Amino acid sequence: MPIFYRKAIEAAIHPARADWLTEAHLMDWNGLAAALSRLTPEQRCDAIYLDWLLQLNSPARFRSRF
């Protein structure tokens, strides 16, 4: 299960420019660090914020609380 939403990175940068992003980037912390290091500081902040928003609305979030 990915630890970070692909949509968050794609939204922070134009989706056509996210062709370098692989599933391996989203599966562990080292991969995520490598992916986020390719972004500008503003894009990185946007991606992290977008991932947080997506996590808030995730059905998995509600299952883990009960």
pLDDT one-digit tens code per residue, 8-55: 999 999 877 888 999 999 999 999 999 999 999 999 999 999 999 998
- Please tell me the distance from the alpha carbon of residue 48 to that of residue 14, in angstroms, as a whole number: 16
pTM, to two decimals: 0.80
Task: Report the C-alpha dihedral over residues 41, 25, 27, 16, rounded to 10 degrees.
Answer: 90
pLDDT value of residue 66: 46
Number of structural domains found in the chain: 1
- Tokens read off for 63: 């299952």
User: Do the domain assignments include residue 59?
Assistant: yes
Show the domain range for 30. 6-64
Q: What pLDDT was estimated at residue 61?
A: 57
Q: Locate all alpha helices (DSSP H) within the chain, ordered by sequence.
A: 6-12, 23-27, 29-37, 41-56, 59-64
Hey, is 37 helix, strand or coil? helix
- The verdict on residue 50 lying in a domain is yes
Q: How confident is the model at residue 57 (pLDDT cuts 50, 70, 90)?
A: confident
pLDDT of residue 51: 94
Q: Which two tokens stand for residue 40?
A: 């500008």
